[in-house]
Amino acid sequence: MGNTPSAGTQTKPRLLDQVRDKIRFKHYSIRTEEAYVGWIKRFILYISNNLYKRIYYFNTLNNLIMLHILRV
């Protein structure tokens, strides 16, 4: 039945959606958002050849993004 969540279940937003939300919350420019999302997409494509590396790099990427965007 597709990607639609059933009543009572919530799905976690995807990584790029989380990045966009945080960037918009911080009132960054739309061009900055496009650049960050583009870098992340290219990074994911770059590491997508090896499953074991992918797991490690997704965790690393997520940490780097959140450290940069969620700076206090």
> Looking at residue 50, what is its pLDDT?
65
> Looking at residue 35, what is its pLDDT?
93
The predicted-structure confidence for 6-62, as pLDDT tens digits, reads as follows 566 788 888 899 989 999 999 999 999 999 999 988 888 777 766 666 677 777 888
> Looking at residue 64, what is its pLDDT?
81
- Distance, CA of 15 to CA of 41 (rounded, Å): 10
> Looking at residue 67, what is its pLDDT?
79
What's the DSSP call for residue 29? Answer: -
Q: Which residue has the higher pLDDT, 3 or 57?
A: 57
Q: Under 8 Å CB-to-CB from 59, ≥6 apart: which residues?
A: none
What's the DSSP call for residue 52? Answer: H
Phi, psi of 11 (to 5 degrees): -100, 145
* Contact by Cβ (8 Å): 37, 19: yes
Whether residue 1 is predicted with pLDDT greater than 50 in this model: the reply is no
